[in-house]
A and B are shown apart, each in its own frame.
Chain A
Amino acid sequence: MSDVFRIQATPPSPELWAPGRGEANLIDVATFGFWLYMLSDTLVFAALFAAYGVLDHRFNAAGGPTSHEIVHPLAAFWQTLIVLSSAFAYGMAMVGIRARSRLRCVVGLAGSAALGAVFIALENIHLAALVAQGNAPERSGYLSAFFILMAVHNLHLAFGVLWMLVMIVQVSTQGFTTGTVIRLLNLRFYWMFQTSIWVCIFVFVYLRGGA
């Protein structure tokens, strides 16, 4: 009886949490855990997109502006270019890590963080201009949904830039230890997820609104 179970419990190839295979690879476990967190984080964005899609309606504008009047596809396109370039710069940092070059890693991270900061500044200028025109979040249900979606995305980017600055310091001082490599891999997921979220915002908020 127990022999049968033992045979069945042995997979043909080593799995992430196969029993009796010794300890799982720490990097595998850490990045998988963070990946699950990112999926749950994406659900938060799905909820915000659902709320935005529902409130992007003349009735919810309460006499205020609708998406057609506050979004500008061309301006958002430059932000799209910046955020895609930032993800590419992070990719170059990853290539630097693979080549065991601290310098290339730090330069890639710095470029990515700088582009991220430019993006955040452009987005904040746009939001501040809307508030200055009297189109603050409390103006209507539509504007509330628009602002919260933008603010949550912007906040994610701000924390990403902060994380990159921390990693620049850690890579410079500690080099490529298991700990720093796990954090760099997780930050890659985090940053590229924000890029994918912005692609959705660009298409479903800016292009749909500007059509």
Chain B
Amino acid sequence: MTDPLLHSEVRASSAVAFAIGYVISVALMVAALVVTMRHALGRIDLVVVTSLLALLTLITQAVFMFRLNLSQSDRWKVVSLVLALPLFVLMLGLTGWMFHTLYLRTMLPGTMGH
């Protein structure tokens, strides 16, 4: 039995990487909070900006916290994640779009102009 601590996923743990990931994540979340609390942007702009900040945070997490990379042992994790992403987009996008048009078409009281 080989030493489990020599495995690449254990070796990939780095205090510097975790610290960088932590600082960037906190900074992005502070930015998202400040943008929201100052009420300086319109509703659509705010959704776009905070969504982008969330996306950047998730990428930061993937790179610095999950330590995802294209090495021998991690390649299949990246492949499966990339293949799963369309499922998330379909599930969230189609549901949102479907119900958005449904609300408009049924013209339920109090839903117009929302």
Contact between chains at B33 and A181 (CB < 8 Å)? no
What is the size category of the interface that chain B forms with chain A? 35 or more
Contact between chains at B37 and A177 (CB < 8 Å)? no
Binds B, one of A132-140, A159-167, A193-201: A193-201
Q: Contacts A80-B29, A177-B4 known; A203 to B91 CB distance under 8 Å?
A: no
Q: Select which of A53, A77, A88, A202 is within 8 A of B92 by beta carbon.
A: A53
Give the number of A-B contacts (CB < 8 Å). 157
Extra inter-chain contacts (9) besides given A32-B80, A42-B88, CB under 8 Å: A32-B77, A36-B80, A39-B81, A84-B26, A91-B21, A95-B15, A208-B46, A210-B37, A211-B47
Complex Cα distance, B36 from A39, in Å, reads 30
Contact between chains at B25 and A84 (CB < 8 Å)? yes
Complex Cα distance, B43 from A210, in Å, reads 11
Main secondary structure of the interface of B (DSSP, over half): helix
Within the complex, the shortest CB–CB distance from B56 to chain A, in Å, comes to 10
Q: Give the A-binding residues of B (Cβ under 8 A).
A: 1, 4-5, 7, 9-11, 13-15, 18-19, 21-22, 25-26, 29-30, 32-33, 36-37, 39, 43, 46-47, 50-51, 53-54, 57-58, 61, 65-66, 72-73, 75-77, 80-81, 84, 87-88, 91-92, 95-96, 99, 103, 108-111, 114
Contact with B along A14-57 (1 / 0, CB 8 A): 10100000000101100110011001001100110111011001
B5: A residues at CB distance < 8 A = 97-98, 100, 176, 181
Q: Contacts A32-B76, A196-B61 known; A91 to B18 CB distance under 8 Å?
A: yes
B87's nearest neighbour on chain A, judged by CB, is A43
Within the complex, the shortest CB–CB distance from B16 to chain A, in Å, comes to 10
What is the size category of the interface that chain A forms with chain B? 35 or more
A211: B residues at CB distance < 8 A = 36, 39, 43, 46-47
A77's nearest neighbour on chain B, judged by CB, is B33
Complex Cα distance, B73 from A43, in Å, reads 24
